Amino acid sequence: MRLPLCFIAATLTMAATLTAQARPAADSARPAPPVAPGAETAPVVTHHEVKVGSRILKYTVTAGMMPLKNDQGATEANIFYMAYTLDGATDRSKRPLMFSFNGGPGSASVWLHLGALGPRRVKMEDEGWLPAAPYQLVDNDQTWLDFTDLVFIDPVGTGYSRAATAELGKKFWSLQGDIRSVGEFIRLYLGRNERWSSPLFLVGESYGTTRAAGLASHLVDRGIALNGVILISTILNFGTTDWSTGNDLPYALYLPTYTATAWYHKKLAPDLQADLRKTLAQAEQWAGTDYLVALARGDRLTGAERERVVQQLARYTGLSPRFVDQSNLRIELGRFMAELKRDDGATVGRLDTRFTGVNALQGSERADFDPSMSAIRPPYTAMFNDYVRRELGYQSDLEYYILGGGIGSRWSFDSDNEYVDVGENLRAAFARNPHMRLFVAFGYYDAATPYFAAQYSLDHLRLPPALKSRVSSGYYEAGHMMYIHLPSLARLSGDVRGFVGLATTP
């Protein structure tokens, strides 16, 4: 079964991204170098402070490796982690602990770490645009450390985390293998750091939301109940984003993101340009009703019916009726990225459709690359490698796999002849732990994990009203990594602060 990789790591190679076929991030042909387990080494511990509002937070950073061992005691992998704990918080039963990871599969935790959650962040332009090198790391006055301790996890094959041998790597490079290994890390961390009594949270981004949903049920089945789960740029049901022939669902679920993008680039009719949220409400209503019905009817549409759909689809996408008609009413993402601003000689981004790029040939059918990833990756790569060595004193000659390169085999989604859907895992976690809460963060300009597709998945969890009331959300006028946009960074921090407070109140 072909499955889409609709998350951050897919952007390494744009051609691979836009065909939406499941595989780990590019460079997967280059296996991670084997690392002999050897003796376990002590983590590096440093002490710092950051100003948040009028307060000074003093905190400790612990950077190290957690060995994953088999039943015979042999180390099969080492997981690199970085933990931030607030100094002076002596009552651990009242101090929340949050485990964080990004997606891919194949992405390190650097994006959430140095973009939103940690006390240091990569400085981008206020709107999220690429600054000029040399890049800077600045204090993050929106750090989540103000209300929770933080542990950033790099799953096996990302960051500095390595399997003991290339062959053993296959054990971890699958949907279930990944969940089991990260779950084992969490169990070990709780024991080694005496945090079993702390309120517990997970936060995942992109494919990390898939992992978080799977972990929520995996952990509770092993006696580890979560207070809350935070999903940022969510993908639960892969059928909502797969462009396979015969699967019409993504065309409708992507439409509101196309509308938001056209609105941002001023490609809509004047009445639709007036108010983004009102326009999106209209687009969502039409996409979920008339458009879905038209797609389902296929060749049974009459000429007049088809023309009405053409005109409405053109109206909500900012594309020409001729292009819509020639696309058979079905506009795949890569073609939209290339077409929306073709007359301006530009393409739009995938992770964040506010960004624009330039194709080698203006007449190309699809975008050559994702300009948003091209803007984000260099400063995050440079600043992590500088930070971990210079400020934290953690020295390693290993390559820190930011995005791809460390997964030495094709990722297995453990799914035969069906789409991956971890919504059932999330439902099961709620059923077993009715005190758990869920917060979901959506970016209007995220075309990697479109917000309406995530809404669709959440609307199909089959939760009873009492549990559904424990699900909350936030919408941000930015993309997949909404926190690179300074106003969204502040809003997200405030929203999550309120969520954590609610989830830790009896």
Residues 44-94 have pLDDT tens digits of 999 999 999 999 999 999 999 999 999 999 999 999 999 999 999 989 999
List the Cα angle 217/222/224 in 5-degree steps.
75
- Judge whether 36 lies within some domain: yes
491 occurs within a structural domain: yes
The answer to whether residue 344 is domain-embedded is yes
Residues 84 and 231 placed together within one structural domain of the fold: yes
Compute how many other C-beta atoms are within 10 angstroms of the C-beta atom of residue 16: 16
Q: Where are the beta strands (DSSP E) in 346-504?
A: 347-348, 356-357, 437-443, 471-476
* 169-196 mean pLDDT: 95
**Residue-averaged pLDDT of the chain:** 91
Q: Mean per-residue pLDDT for 451-474?
A: 97
Cis-peptide, bond into residue 134, ω within 30° of zero: yes
| Judgement on whether residues 222 and 274 belong to the same structural domain of the protein | no
Q: Is residue 1 part of a domain?
A: no
Give the model confidence (pLDDT) of 217-248 as tens digits: 999 999 999 999 999 999 999 999 999 999 99
Contact between 12 and 211 under an 8 Å Cβ cutoff? The reply is no
Q: Are residues 223 and 272 in the same domain?
A: no
pLDDT at 373: 94
pLDDT at 9: 41
Contacts of 506 (CB under 8 A, 6+ apart): none
Angle, helix 303-317 to helix 249-264, in steps of 10 degrees: 40
Q: What is the number of structural domains in the chain?
A: 2
316 and 397 inside one domain: no
Place 6 in a pLDDT band, splitting at 50, 70 and 90. very low
pLDDT tens-digit series, residues 314-325: 999 999 999 999
486: tokens are 């300074």
CATH code at position 413 = 3.40.50.1820
Q: Final residue of a domain: which of 369, 402, 434?
A: 369
Residue 498 lies in a domain: yes
Domain end (from 299, 334, 369): 369
Q: Are residues 49 and 123 part of one domain?
A: yes
pLDDT value for 21: 30
| 423 Cβ contact list (under 8 Å, min separation 6) | 213, 236, 237, 457, 458, 460, 461
End-to-end CA distance of the chain: 44
Please choose, from the candidates 226, 231, 230, the residue with its C-alpha nearest in 3D space to the C-alpha of residue 429.
226
Residues 408 and 493 occupy one common structural domain:
yes
pLDDT confidence tier of residue 40, bands split at 50, 70 and 90: confident
92 Rama class: left (phi>0) / alpha (psi -120 to 50) / beta: alpha
Q: Is residue 2 part of a domain?
A: no
Domain identity same for 348 and 461: no
pTM for this predicted structure: 0.91
pLDDT at 202: 99
Token digits of residue 72:
């015979």
Q: Give Cα separations from 499 to 70, 84, 369, 480, 492 (angstroms).
A: 37, 20, 36, 20, 10
**What pLDDT is recorded for position 410?**
81
Q: 234 near 440, Cβ under 8 Å? A: yes
Parent domain of 217: 8-239+377-503
- Which amino acid is located at 274 in the chain? A
CA 367 distance to own-chain centroid: 22
- Average pLDDT on 248-265 reads 98
SS3 248: coil
Same domain, 152 and 284: no
Same domain (yes/no): 45, 128: yes
Whether 399 is covered by a domain: the verdict is yes
pLDDT at residue 312, as a whole number: 98
Which single residue is written with the structure tokens 């019905």?
293
Residue where a domain stops, chosen among 346, 369, 392: 369
Q: 357 and 459, same structural domain? A: no
The residue-averaged pLDDT of 452-480 equals: 97
| Dist CA 325 CA 165 (whole Å) | 52
- In this predicted model, what pLDDT tens digit does every residue of 267-299 receive, in sequence order? 999 999 999 999 999 999 999 999 999 999 999
| 303 shares its domain with 430 | no
Cα–Cα distance, 53 to 495 (Å, whole number): 17
User: Residue 364 half-sphere exposure, CB side, CA atoms within 13 Å?
Assistant: 17
Reply yes or no on whether the pLDDT at 35 is more than 70.
no
Pair 103, 172 in one domain: yes
Residue partners of 425: CB distance under 8 A and separation at least 6: 213, 214, 216, 217, 218
**Within a domain: 135:** yes
Tokens of 39: 């003796």
